[in-house]
Amino acid sequence: MSYQNATSELNVGSQPGPKNPQRTEGSTQYGDYGSALLENRLSVEDFVKIQSAFESPEPRQTISMSREEFVQKMKEIIVWGTEKEYQELFDKVDVARDGFINWDKLTSFMLLALYEKDERAKATVVPQWKALEFLPVKHKDTIQKVIFLKSSSRYLTISKEGLLGIWGENLTLQETLPVTSDVTKLKHLWVTSLVSLENVNKIAVAFTSKEIYFYDLLSKEEFPCQYKLQGLKATPICMDYWYDPLDANESILSFGDITGKVQAISFTAALISLFERPPSACEDEDTTVTISWAELLSGYHKCCYILEHKLHHGDWVRQVAYSASLDAIISSTTSNTNTVVLAWREKSKKHLKMTSFNIAQGIHAFDYHSQLNLIATAGINSKVCLWNPYVVSKPVGVLWGHSASVIAVQFFAGRKQLFSFSKDKVLRLWDIQHQLSIQRIACSFPKSQDFRCLFHFDEAHGRLFISFNNQLALLAMKSETSKRVKSHKKAVTCVLYNSIWKQVISSDTGSTVSFWMIDTGQKIKQFTGCHGNAEISTMALDVNETRLLTGSTDGTVKIWDFNGYCHHTLNVGQDGVVDISQILVLKKTILVTGWERYVMLHTKLTMTVFRPQNFNQFFIQPEEWKGGVQHRDDILCVAFLPPQTLATGSYDGEIVLWNNSTENAHHALHPDYQRLLKSKLDAEPHKLLSADRNSSPTPTADQATLRAYPSEVDTEGNNAVKRLCFLEARKNIAVTEGANLVSCGGSGYVRFWDTFKKQLLAEFLAHSGAGSIIMSIDKLNQYLVTGDLDGWVKVWNIEDYCLNSSQNKVTQPPPLIRSFQPHEDRISCLEMCELWGRSLIISSSADCSISVTDVCSSPIWSFGQAKHWQIENCISLPKRDTTLMESEIQEKSIRTIPLLSKEELCLDPIEHSLLDKKNKEDSTDNVRASEDINLGMKYKARNCHKKKTHKLYDGEIIQKTSSAFRSLTIGALKELPEVNKPAFLLDPEKYFQEEPEEECPQISELPPLSETLKAVFDEKNLFPKEILDHERRAKQLCQETSGEVKIKRNKKQLQLKEK
């Protein structure tokens, strides 16, 4: 038996080691690599054998081994494993390169490797936190609540004195507003709680004056109170709000008061109105409507009803929440009886049915995990208990570890973990499955005897807020280390392509701009701190692509050269907070669009214009846009179509068309309506038109108002226009009445518009359930590329899409060429470019990466990866379709031959043949340049710049194939027979001697034609008899008519003479 066979048999047996010895020689990817290492596959028995090999017969001495000795010894005692693996293990242990190792060195290496492995395992389970950071709040009293608004990506904080703080998603304080009622101002009462009504864009604030105020977040004028709920029997101190995501009309507002009463208002038509407006109320929506609690109890308001119970018996209700999975209201107190109460309503019954938990010493707070079906309670006795909602006798688990009263608990739902915070300012993270504390963090708050802490974990953003009286601290999770290549350290916001230098330019939220070579992926330079610490939201290149413009959230646009020198700073926001959405560089103007935040969620729309002829200093102030702002919501994008058409898109779905020369708007398009716009100087009211083709061209005022202003406000951005692209390559679109403008945005829809007829021609769902999308279109208008919030990119063929107008709106999508996911997070920007005739797609994402690929099925490369690429050699070209029949070629060739003009019809036959030959040549190239790729789509080979493989020669097609030599059989050549020399070589004088010159005979002159003509020329011999007879009759008729005319003329002359 050979050595290899013996090794295989031992590995298959009970001996420890890999079950498949072949796997040890291969390399594994990512997570499998660590488990495939030799040191990770050694068992305890193997280490015992290794230790015995290093033991010396003499006491207190160890054996040292060289590399060859160690490998030979291991192969003898361990048996399994390859020689290369033991050599690699020796090199890892011998860090100092001494050339030998002993048992101490080996054990030190193994302990360190195991420690690092344990740390990596913990990093995947335990979140890693940044340093504790205190936010710059302006609250002077205790912070009562912290909430996050998903619709606007903003945080709200409210304090006891009624000061509301508005924070951006990057946790910058944007605005502070006083929120107090008339009664609290007089009696110095305070705010107790705050909840967000996300489905109706409102917030509810509870006061110690036994009132609940409802404020509207969509009002642009001020921060108005829409409803006042008064007449409560006791002060509400905690609130909770829930709405059904499948039916936003169904929602529940629950609250608990200081008398132990839990009450809930169940809304049945929340989207229409929370409460019924009394007949005497003013029609103005900004007026405050006062609602009496007695009216709600009596059932006066048909759109809601009341649920309540008093099982807590006079104890303060510390927390209340509604659980949709349990269909019950959960409430808690600090009492040891009826500490936690679950109340639910059975069908066809008005009263609530209840069950309760009795917890010793009571609890401060609770949280419910719907997937685990567990209720976690923060005990005053320093215990964290886990309860099954259907088992009230005892908890299913008790978490020990806190040495002080636990004041807050919250589940980390995604990881099935639990946070708990105690009164001694210690934060613990628990593993629910094993019921063990896996992390402990001691927070450094000031020492105080009397303090109030608030605990809120924003799982979506990995942010943990802990308040200490009027201070607010933030613990932010570190982003998990991913194996994905990162192009930037922070989220990428914009990407551009410079066709002159063949470079990709990218920017991120950290105000960094990077430059990359597109053909290799190499980073060549980087500008840091372009706008300080402010985020770069958008970029643009000038017309000549020699200047770079960067727009930032600090309200400025800077103009750079490619050496990093800033030439000008454009002051867009007038030293205010501005969100710049896009920069459009034209020949005579620079247009900047966006919105300026000046209060809460309200915006001041901006369209700022700069004229380059006034760039005579460093700081440039904006000029007035003559047409004003015609949009009613945030302006998100802008596009230009030469010579003078400008289009802007907004959050509410409107597309406004402008004349760039006069800077006046003339039309507004929307998927549901359209309206005519007058210039800013025109005092006439706006005329409104319906988008329906069959409607009356001049609707009445009532009809127009109804069509122009939809009954339901689009608060979710379902029609938001994120990108606009004109189809400039469609030259004759005004004649064919096809689409020349493409828009995309909310709900994943792409829409095609005809701006000449002001008509929506087509719309289709590009990304289902992915929310808002962005897009890009190549210069030839052949490909549309869309990207969504999940990192997916789709490529569509729009070359023949919506080329002609139609009566009905097209909903069928164009052919899909490719769908892939180059990123793990939101696609922030898409750019298409042409390189060596290939259409390339450049995409950037919030996952800090930038990718490039082509429209076919080529690999995806990431800028920043260790290995550079050669894109010219790596991009796969589509295979040519060589199965076309000759009849199809001729048919398609005929289609490509243009109609001959009058000048071409007058050409000579020779010129016609040359023209036909040229047309045939072009048509054949067009036919051979198209092919079938994914889903039967045609991809033009001219975009890949592949060399022509078919040429016309004498009317025949000659194929040149790159694989022709594969079919050749190469062998030894046969010997040729001996060839005799020809006779003219043997005797050249016989064949090539000069002959004597002979005199040429003289050619006699030909006789004249008159002498040789035998008969006189007669036309009767050339033409048929019928033609000659017809001509003879015509001559006779002409003579007769002419004679009659002469006779009549003579008679008239005689009559005139006689008179």
For residue 586, the tally of other CB atoms under 10 A from its CB is 15
What's the mean pLDDT in 193-198? Answer: 94
Instruction: Say which range, 20-29, 254-263, 411-420, 656-665, has the weakest mean pLDDT.
Output: 20-29
Question: Which of the pair, 423 or 15, is modelled with greater confidence?
Answer: 423
The whole-angstrom separation of Cα 537 and Cα 985 is 88
Q: Hey, what are 233's tokens?
A: 């029997």
Give the burial class of 710: count Cβ atoms within 10 A of its Cβ; 0-12 exposed, 13-18 middle, 19 or more buried.
Answer: middle
What's the mean pLDDT in 822-844? Answer: 92
Strands annotated E in 846-1001: 850-854, 861-862, 950-953, 956-959
Vertex 501 angle, CA 500 and 505, to 5°: 110
Nearest CA-CA partner of 232 in 297, 321, 161? 297
Amino acid residing at 680: K
**pLDDT bucket at 1029, cuts 50 / 70 / 90:** confident
Q: What is the pLDDT of residue 948?
A: 35
Q: Is the pLDDT of residue 335 over 80?
A: yes
The whole-angstrom separation of Cα 54 and Cα 101 is 10
Q: Hey, what are 676's tokens?
A: 């005519």
Task: Answer yes or no: are the C-beta atoms of 151 and 478 closer than 8 Å.
Answer: no
Q: What is the pLDDT of residue 741?
A: 95
Element (H, E) at 366: strand 363-369
Q: Hey, what are 209's tokens?
A: 């004056």
Q: What is the pLDDT of residue 631?
A: 85
Q: What is the pLDDT of residue 1003?
A: 54
For residue 188, the tally of other CB atoms under 10 A from its CB is 9
The whole-angstrom separation of Cα 535 and Cα 491 is 10
Nearest CA-CA partner of 416 in 454, 353, 367? 367
Task: Answer yes or no: are the C-beta atoms of 377 and 392 closer than 8 Å.
Answer: no
For residue 836, the tally of other CB atoms under 10 A from its CB is 12
Q: Is the pLDDT of residue 660 over 50?
A: yes
pTM for the model stands at: 0.47
Task: Answer yes or no: are the C-beta atoms of 641 and 647 closer than 8 Å.
Answer: yes
Instruction: Say which range, 293-302, 363-372, 934-943, has the weakest mean pLDDT.
Output: 934-943
Element (H, E) at 296: helix 293-298
**pLDDT bucket at 24, cuts 50 / 70 / 90:** very low
The whole-angstrom separation of Cα 196 and Cα 251 is 12
The whole-angstrom separation of Cα 91 and Cα 1016 is 119
Q: Is the pLDDT of residue 365 over 70?
A: yes
**pLDDT bucket at 444, cuts 50 / 70 / 90:** confident
Question: Which of the pair, 287 or 803, is modelled with greater confidence?
Answer: 803
Q: What is the pLDDT of residue 122?
A: 55
The whole-angstrom separation of Cα 210 and Cα 427 is 34
Q: What is the pLDDT of residue 935?
A: 34
Give the chain's radius of gyration (CA, Å). Answer: 43
pLDDT tens digits along 763-798: 999 998 888 999 999 999 999 999 999 899 999 999
Q: What is the pLDDT of residue 1022?
A: 62
Q: Hey, what are 519's tokens?
A: 């053909």
The whole-angstrom separation of Cα 524 and Cα 540 is 19
Q: What is the pLDDT of residue 931?
A: 32
Residues 6+ apart with CB under 8 A from 688: 673, 675, 676, 699, 704, 705, 707, 708
The whole-angstrom separation of Cα 892 and Cα 832 is 30
Q: In what order do the strands lie in the sheet with 352-357?
A: 319-323, 328-332, 340-345, 352-357
Instruction: Say which range, 747-756, 927-936, 973-982, 1042-1051, has the weakest mean pLDDT.
Output: 927-936
The whole-angstrom separation of Cα 418 and Cα 433 is 10
Task: Answer yes or no: are the C-beta atoms of 804 and 843 closer than 8 Å.
Answer: no
Question: Which of the pair, 913 or 1056, is modelled with greater confidence?
Answer: 1056
The whole-angstrom separation of Cα 340 and Cα 338 is 6
Vertex 593 angle, CA 590 and 596, to 5°: 130
Q: Hey, what are 445's tokens?
A: 């708050």
In the chain, what percentage of residues exceed pLDDT 70?
Answer: 73
Q: Could you check whether the bond before residue 59 is cis, i.e. omega within 30 degrees of 0?
A: no
User: Which contacts qualify for 405-408: CB closer than 8 Å, 24 or more apart?
Assistant: 405/364, 405/379, 405/380, 405/381, 406/364, 406/378, 406/379, 406/380, 406/382, 407/364, 407/365, 407/378, 407/453, 407/455, 408/364, 408/365, 408/378, 408/453, 408/454, 408/455
Q: What is the pLDDT of residue 1023?
A: 67
Q: What is the pLDDT of residue 183?
A: 55
What's the mean pLDDT in 587-609? Answer: 68
Nearest CA-CA partner of 48 in 113, 124, 112, 103? 103
The whole-angstrom separation of Cα 727 and Cα 278 is 53
Amino acid residing at 71: V
In the chain, what percentage of residues exceed pLDDT 90?
Answer: 38
Helix, strand, coil share of the chain (percent; to 5) = 20, 35, 45
Q: What is the pLDDT of residue 345?
A: 84
Q: Is the pLDDT of residue 513 over 70?
A: yes
**pLDDT bucket at 281, cuts 50 / 70 / 90:** low
Q: What is the pLDDT of residue 1015?
A: 52
Q: What is the pLDDT of residue 770?
A: 80
What's the mean pLDDT in 736-740? Answer: 86
**pLDDT bucket at 231, cuts 50 / 70 / 90:** very high
Helices (H), ranges, 680-722: 701-708
Q: Is the pLDDT of residue 349 over 60?
A: yes
Cross-strand partners of 496: 505
DSSP letter assigned to residue 877? P
Q: Is the pLDDT of residue 452 over 50?
A: yes
Q: Is the pLDDT of residue 152 over 80?
A: yes
Nearest CA-CA partner of 629 in 599, 598, 603? 603
pLDDT tens digits along 463-498: 999 998 889 999 998 876 556 788 998 999 999 999
What's the mean pLDDT in 379-384? Answer: 94
DSSP letter assigned to residue 350? S
What's the mean pLDDT in 432-451? Answer: 80
Strands 566-571 and 619-620, how do they pair?
parallel
CA 785 to chain centre: 11
